[in-house]
Amino acid sequence: MPEEGVLRVVVVRKGNVKPTEFRLREGEVGLSLFRSDDSIGPEAILEAVHAAGKQGELAVVEIPISVFRWLRLRLVRTPGGTPDPAVNAIHIEARPSWWRRIVLRFRGVRIHEWFNETITPELAAAAKLVEGGQ
């Protein structure tokens, strides 16, 4: 039985998904993702994210939940920002724990900088394109 994963909408450039698709911007504390849901396919997620304004050649990738556990990231339900309420209902973010955020603040390290240097390469390596989500 395949391991359950979460989905992310990414921009594909020259047929490849770049690690930059898994970076946080300054001020963000979590990476936008979607839970897998049999009633909402990758195509619906893709359409909703496109309708919300994401531009380019979009595709959906899946990342195993075990990767987030290994990286000690929490998957937190958050409101989605698409025009589709069903897609918004399955929106989540991958965030560092409150303890990690305190340690980073104490060390003077910004969350997005730590995430982009430490977490982004691991997520990019684990991401696999989803059929039907392109």
Alpha-carbon gap, residue 43 to 126, rounded angstroms? 21
Q: Are 33 and 21 in contact (CB under 8 A)?
A: no
pTM over 0.85: yes
Domain locations in the chain? 5-129
Tens-of-pLDDT digits for all 134 residues of the chain? 356 899 999 999 887 889 999 999 999 999 999 999 888 999 999 999 999 999 989 999 999 999 999 999 999 999 999 999 999 999 999 999 999 999 999 999 999 999 999 999 999 999 999 876 55
* 114 Cβ contact list (under 8 Å, min separation 6): 96, 104
